[in-house]
Amino acid sequence: MPRASTRLTFAVLATGAGVFAMLQSLIAPALPTVQHALHASPSTATWVMTAYLLSASVFTPILGRVGDLAGRKRTLVAVLLAVLAGCLVAALAPNIGVLIVARVIQGVGGALFPLSFGIIRDEFAPAEVSGSISNLSAVIAAGGGVGMVAAGPIVSALDYRWLFWIPVAIVAATVLIALRYIPESPERTAGKVGWAGAVLLSGWLVALLLPLSQAGQWGWGSTRVLGMFAAAVALFAVWLVTEARSRTPLIDLRVLRLPAVWTTNTAALLFGAGMYSIWSFLPGFVQTPSAAGYGFGASVTESGLLMLPMLVAMFLSGVLSGRLEPRVGAKALLTAGATLGALACGFLTLWHDARWQIGVVAALFGLGIGLAFASMAHLIVGSVPAAQTGAATGMNANIRTIGGSIGAALTSVLVTGRLQPSGLPYASGYTHGWALLALLCLAAAGAALLVPARRPAPSAEAPTAPGVTRAPVRVR
């Protein structure tokens, strides 16, 4: 098999992860169009987002671990094929039910994040790892921004189905290049997937995320919501016991207890709450008719353009962090990123009457996202054994998603808890929501300050998972 240059390897990884990140946000602005075109009810249409969230949350850590065991290249190719199939089914979906199934299949792509970080750690020279992780994190962060910006023009110029046809072409080319040029992992973990842990992990994630995403329709005090929360707690407890006793755990709990890992995951939970909520509610705020006493009556395309400063800032700060990390450390960058998020939300709480103010907020938060994404990846990858990279980075991404679900649910309560006679939220609902997000980001900065100043050397101080087989890392 021809050897790939690190540039080509990075291009493949960035394309796959970027497309998945784009699919996270690409459909959200077009959801009303999809609902109308497929003759679905609003409650049914929300499952287009919910199904994707649940699928990604379940598959990300599981397939990250499968990559550690079976080889990251072959797992990456399989995941890319699943994303390709999901996009193809979505583009051809005749009804909302088939589209929801397609979104479940697309959610498998969540594993692209941990697999990509693992391949970078395996294949790149030590001097290249830091910058490559930062650049990939920038692409992942910017991918979500591209989805928000591009959705309106694509739907207006073509049709909502092209939101999926375009990724079909991109992912198909990526699969072919990956098959030929990406090398297989030099490092494997002996053993097998702990399926009991995988089933329990899936169970408590679904039991937690489903009521969070549907509580607005089901009612926070409903038997269904409270029962699922209780089930999540019980399944989580059983999962902890099962993983602790397993010889080949899906996620080594000793790794999660490392100071650099648990503090970074705490910051990810809190920052994710702010980030996903901004992505979810800021476009709706600017699309609100000014007759409501706020908002600008922007179209989907116009609201996407107002998010453009966030997209640019995310990418630039993510790339810049690769140069800053060796000098100031990932801890300082994570703290700075969360602080910028808090400043952006605080600014938005006080000033949101002009479009330029929305642009300033978007840019500030974008800078924060770029710094935070890259630094979280650095801290996790630099603190765990190479054979645990997939599972650990997958769990970090999952925790960020859980935080996003919690933040979006809490913000929704504040925004939609009291409505005007027109059915639109009051301005105070949004300002209270922005204030909450500022506090959550500030708490994330506090968690980042608890991260150990120096990362332990993975080969010496991080625990070695059972059955790890080490091989020399290729250095080019």
Residue 287, domain CATH: 1.20.1250.20
The answer to the question of residue 117 being in a domain is yes
Q: What is the dihedral of CA 229, 233, 234, 236, to 10 degrees?
A: 130
The reply to whether 435 and 298 lie within a common domain is yes
Compute the distance between CA of residue 357 and CA of residue 235 in angstroms, rounded to an integer: 44
Q: Tokens for 454?
A: 């120096």
Compute the distance between CA of residue 133 and CA of residue 460 in angstroms, rounded to an integer: 22
The answer to the question of residue 476 being in a domain is no
CA distances from 416 to 25, 217, 348, 419, 429 (A): 21, 11, 18, 6, 7
The reply to whether 18 and 54 lie within a common domain is yes
Assess contact for 151 and 27: CB atoms under 8 A. yes
The tens-digit pLDDT sequence of the chain (476 residues) is: 444 578 888 988 999 988 888 887 788 778 878 888 998 887 788 788 878 888 888 888 888 888 878 888 899 999 999 999 999 999 999 999 999 999 999 999 988 988 988 888 888 888 888 788 888 888 887 887 788 788 888 888 888 899 999 999 999 999 999 988 888 776 656 566 677 888 898 899 889 888 887 777 788 889 999 999 999 999 999 999 998 888 777 777 888 888 999 999 999 999 998 988 888 788 889 888 988 889 899 887 888 888 889 888 988 888 888 788 888 889 999 999 999 999 999 999 999 999 999 999 999 999 999 899 889 988 988 888 877 777 788 788 888 888 887 888 888 888 877 888 888 889 999 999 999 999 999 999 999 999 997 544 444 344 444 444 444 333 33
Q: Tokens for 72?
A: 């990251």
The reply to whether 56 and 185 lie within a common domain is yes
The answer to the question of residue 469 being in a domain is no
Assess contact for 36 and 155: CB atoms under 8 A. no
- pLDDT at 187 (0 to 100): 63
Of 202, 223, 249, the residue that ends a domain is 249
The reply to whether 199 and 185 lie within a common domain is no
The reply to whether 258 and 239 lie within a common domain is no
The answer to the question of residue 37 being in a domain is yes
The answer to the question of residue 94 being in a domain is yes
Compute the distance between CA of residue 225 and CA of residue 264 in angstroms, rounded to an integer: 29
The reply to whether 314 and 383 lie within a common domain is yes
Compute the distance between CA of residue 332 and CA of residue 325 in angstroms, rounded to an integer: 8
The answer to the question of residue 471 being in a domain is no
- pLDDT at 465 (0 to 100): 42
DSSP conformational letter for 421:
T
Q: What range does the domain containing 212 cover?
A: 194-249
The answer to the question of residue 205 being in a domain is yes
The reply to whether 162 and 203 lie within a common domain is no
The reply to whether 228 and 169 lie within a common domain is no
The reply to whether 156 and 232 lie within a common domain is no
The reply to whether 224 and 349 lie within a common domain is no
The number of domains in the chain is 3
- pLDDT at 331 (0 to 100): 93
The answer to the question of residue 104 being in a domain is yes
The reply to whether 330 and 214 lie within a common domain is no
- pLDDT at 333 (0 to 100): 93
Q: What's this model's pTM, rounded to 2 decimal places? A: 0.79
